[in-house]
Structure 1
């Protein structure tokens, strides 16, 4: 438990928000700083003075010693610098001892007569500081153990950490909101005049790089849609200075809220229309000219693809795709019938002439007909 003197020091520290001894320490440090500056100035002055004027020439004459001379013929006394440094050090030590002795007396007298409580015993127990007014002291808990006290102290520490983390998060959120608002609110200089609504130029074009999304709220198209223009940085600061009760303008939030409020009605309407979509065909409103154009495009596409296929198979298509073989397409049955006729003619010719020439000519004709039939089938 702290003794009465320590309790008095704690009470004064809480009252002044700084320890009483720190005032005396600051005074002593300030006096020491002045002392060090004085000794430095004194040393600089002695070092820059002529050693002969400080008595070094008289001492050399008394000792029958001839001092050395520099290039200009002036006497040089090397021992002058050393003696000046030693003398300054002795003077500084003497002054420090005097300051410590006298200001220790000041410290003791101040702590006993100025920065202290009245000498009556028990006064510190009756002193109540201003920040302790209307504070109800909880009753003494006889069941409070050191473990419970440690737990409460840990809870207090964690609460303070959480509070600091929340403040940091709030600061980061404020910065993020400011950055997002800068994307929507262009900054207008005070000297910039407002552009007329009849001007053909695009508004806020010079600030497009500052607020790339300002067109959502600060363009004539946005005003036509009923979106309220957000206040710019200059106008907001001016209104805040003139209007004691500023109003918060949130057109985007208002429009978003209205849109989301209409979603249930749209879902209901869509649900009621779904049964009709399965049985009702979509209306066709194409005109006759559009139908003819589509048919023409389809015909051109078919002809181009047919021509490409025929050219790939070696068919000459310079005269066109249609009428390439001068008639209708020959079917497989017709080709087989022609082959049978050619075979019968070849057999009859071979039997009548008694040589193989007729049979060879018939086979050649048959081969040509067969090839022509296959080529016709490909068309």
Structure 2
């Protein structure tokens, strides 16, 4: 069972919503951060200063030593950097000890006199008599002797799973609301349509006559004159979204209107079929084909050259015959091609002579 001090710390933590010791830790961390920034600035200033102004020239003169010189002719003191680092480290350690000593006193005094509950003499603290605001009107259930560790663990798991399910349902509700708003924007024009009598049932014509734009391509399903003649009520505007669900049009009405547009679409398709049979696909001329072949050849050669150069192959003479290992020159490839062409011509002449003799 927790002692009186632990109960007091738990009560203060519940009241502040953070442990009292964390405030002292944050103060000490902030002081240490300022301390480290000061020592870094101090070290940077000493490192940037001239070592002769820091007493190294007098030290060398007292020891009868001659300082080295760099390329610019300036005197160099190699041990200056090491001594500055050691001195700053000693100063930092000294200041850390001072901070730890003094802020430990601050921690003890604060926890005993500020972040604590008042004590009434020898009778102990008032922690047992304090009631926080969120405990007001809290009904404590009667003691259940049948509650076991296993049942308590099951209740905790049930609470965790219920909380997780609640968060998932809220996220799903948000996604569904965004999807519904997006779908509704496809059916609802930016401004209320002006109803005008029209005898055409064409979706494209009713779309233009109702003033809908490209952002609402399906607004004609609910805002055209054909839709109104079928009894399809337009969707409410955003400002009037509080319309009760029973006043909205059921899905069957929208389906009926969609099917009523199918004959018009079939008529359009039938009128387009003769044009498809008589219209030929555009053909390219010989010049365009040669240009495309030349562009393709240039692209293939450039990509091949890039890959070969990445593998370390020399492509100065072209990419023909450039392979890993021993490289074949372009002139050799052309010579081999001419030999093969000559052999093919000779073979063709021999076959022609054989046919003549037969």
Task: Tell me the TM-score normalised to structure 2 length.
Answer: 0.60
**Are 1:60 and 1:66, in contact at CA under 8 Å, matched by a contact in 2?**
yes
Counterpart in the other structure of 1:348: none
Q: Distance in 1 between matches of 2:223 and 2:173?
A: 25
Counterpart in the other structure of 1:203: 211
Please tell me the root mean square deviation across aligned C-alpha atoms, in Å.
2.8
**Are 1:67 and 1:75, in contact at CA under 8 Å, matched by a contact in 2?**
yes
Question: Structure 1's 16 and 110: CA in aligned 2 closer, same or farther, altered over 3 A?
Answer: same
**Are 2:210 and 2:223, in contact at CA under 8 Å, matched by a contact in 1?**
no
Question: Structure 1's 102 and 220: CA in aligned 2 closer, same or farther, altered over 3 A?
Answer: farther
Counterpart in the other structure of 2:182: 182
Q: Distance in 2 between matches of 1:26 and 1:80?
A: 37
Q: CA deviation at 1:24?
A: 0.2
Q: Alignment length, in residue pairs?
A: 240
Q: Distance in 2 between matches of 1:139 and 1:193?
A: 62
Deviations 1:92-121 (A, max 9, x none): 111111011000000000000000001121
1:230 and 2:223 are equivalent in the alignment? no
**Are 2:187 and 2:218, in contact at CA under 8 Å, matched by a contact in 1?**
no
Q: Distance in 1 between matches of 2:73 and 2:188?
A: 76
Deviations 1:126-179 (A, max 9, x none): 1000000011223334x345xx24313322322331232233133123313421
What are the ranges of 5 or more consecutive residues in structure 2 without an aligned counterpart?
A: 197-205, 254-358
Q: CA deviation at 1:247?
A: 2.1
Q: CA deviation at 1:255?
A: 2.8
Q: CA deviation at 1:248?
A: 3.1
Question: Structure 1's 144 and 194: CA in aligned 2 closer, same or farther, altered over 3 A?
Answer: closer
**Are 1:186 and 1:204, in contact at CA under 8 Å, matched by a contact in 2?**
no
Deviations 1:177-211 (A, max 9, x none): 4213312324999xx77665559545333204xxx
Deviations 1:220-250 (A, max 9, x none): 4333433332245xxx2xx38xxxxx72364
Q: Distance in 2 between matches of 1:171 and 1:41?
A: 50
SS of the counterpart of 2:58? helix
Aligned match for 2:242, one of 230, 242, 247? 247
Q: Distance in 2 between matches of 1:101 and 1:52?
A: 37
Q: Distance in 2 between matches of 1:249 and 1:109?
A: 65
Q: Distance in 2 between matches of 1:111 and 1:215?
A: 73
Deviations 1:54-77 (A, max 9, x none): 111111111110101111111011
Q: Distance in 2 between matches of 1:151 and 1:21?
A: 35
Counterpart in the other structure of 2:250: 256
Deviations 1:248-304 (A, max 9, x none): 3647x7332898xxxxxxxxxxxxxxxxxxxxxxxxxxxxxxxxxxxxxxxxxxxxx
**Are 1:43 and 1:85, in contact at CA under 8 Å, matched by a contact in 2?**
yes
Counterpart in the other structure of 2:51: 51
Counterpart in the other structure of 2:18: 18
**Are 2:67 and 2:77, in contact at CA under 8 Å, matched by a contact in 1?**
yes
Question: Structure 1's 24 and 220: CA in aligned 2 closer, same or farther, altered over 3 A?
Answer: farther
Counterpart in the other structure of 1:285: none
What are the ranges of 5 or more consecutive residues in structure 1 without an aligned counterpart?
A: 241-245, 260-379
Q: Distance in 1 between matches of 2:176 and 2:111?
A: 52
Task: Tell me the TM-score normalised to structure 1 length.
Answer: 0.57
Q: CA deviation at 1:50?
A: 0.8
SS of the counterpart of 1:134? coil
1:135 and 2:138 are equivalent in the alignment? yes
**Are 1:185 and 1:231, in contact at CA under 8 Å, matched by a contact in 2?**
no
Question: Structure 1's 188 and 104: CA in aligned 2 closer, same or farther, altered over 3 A?
Answer: farther
Q: Distance in 2 between matches of 1:97 and 1:187?
A: 73
Question: Structure 1's 76 and 195: CA in aligned 2 closer, same or farther, altered over 3 A?
Answer: farther
**Are 1:195 and 1:203, in contact at CA under 8 Å, matched by a contact in 2?**
yes
